[in-house]
Amino acid sequence: MKTPTKDRVNLQVTRSPQDAQRKFGHELANILTPVVGISELLLQRVGETGDPDMTRLAKTLRDSATAAWDLVQRFHEIRAIEHGRRKLTWRAGNLVDLLQSTVRNASNIPAAENVRIELSHGVNDAQVEMDYDLLPGVFHAIIKNAIEHVASESELNERVVQVCLMAEYSDYVIQISNPGTPVSAERIESFFDEFNSDRRRKPSGAGLGTTYARLVTRAHGGHIGVQSSIEDGTVVTISIPKAVD
């Protein structure tokens, strides 16, 4: 005897797209965790042999595994914020200190080896209300983008990324700029969209860093935009409201 259709429907389990994305992210993370760990161990072991070719291959494996891990984590963060699963935790902080720390960390990015990062600020105490776990990622993502853009330019005489903090009315404004080939008008339109990476410049990039930057900046009540020209290079402008006394 056939089971009635209504019984089969009752046995079905409905899962929302958000639940499916969350489970997919967890499964990928579970797969990548041992890959990242083993690649680190392999790099150490190979390094002890002094074989430059094997060391290079092990480093490529380690960097690719780490990039994949970072991609999964960033995608997970974006979806959590978008769907309200990640609530911001507010506390006062100084943007100058935050930018100084971010610039130091960015200097360790592999592409930054031949790139100079210059930080300037017109104020010494730039107090804002921020989520310390989220806002640093905004500046790191944009600075990393600028570093990789500059590093890919073979014709530049000077590879430099400039980070400038200014006070304007009720906001603090951070401009992150780099010289080089300007971003096309088409890519400017989609600069902050997901998976917008220029594969010619960043084969391993996914284009989630700028999406994360826009989402977190807006969550802080701020604004983010980009302009690009031959004369001025590419300039990303981020505004964050000043802390209210």
pLDDT tens digits along 118-140: 999 999 999 999 999 999 999 99
Whether 35 and 143 map to the same domain: the answer is: no
Same domain, 138 and 95: yes
Same domain, yes or no, for 135 and 231?
Answer: yes
244 or 120, greater pLDDT: 120
What pLDDT does residue 206 have? 59
Question: Smallest Cα–Cα separation from 233: which of 189, 180, 187?
Answer: 180
122: domain CATH number is 3.30.565.10
Cβ(173)–Cβ(200) below 8 Å = no
- Residue 192 domain-assigned? yes
Question: How many folded domains does the chain comprise?
Answer: 2
Write out the residue range of the structural domain in which residue 149 sits: 91-241
| DSSP H stretches of helix in the chain | 5-11, 17-49, 52-82, 95-106, 135-151, 185-189, 209-219
Do 112 and 156 belong to one domain? yes
3 falls within a domain? no
CA angle 108, 110, 113 (to 5 degrees): 80
- For the segment 233-239, the average pLDDT, to the nearest whole number, is 97
- Residue 184: pLDDT above 60? yes
The answer to whether residue 199 scores a pLDDT higher than 60 is no
User: Which residues pair with residue 234 across a beta bridge?
Assistant: 178, 228
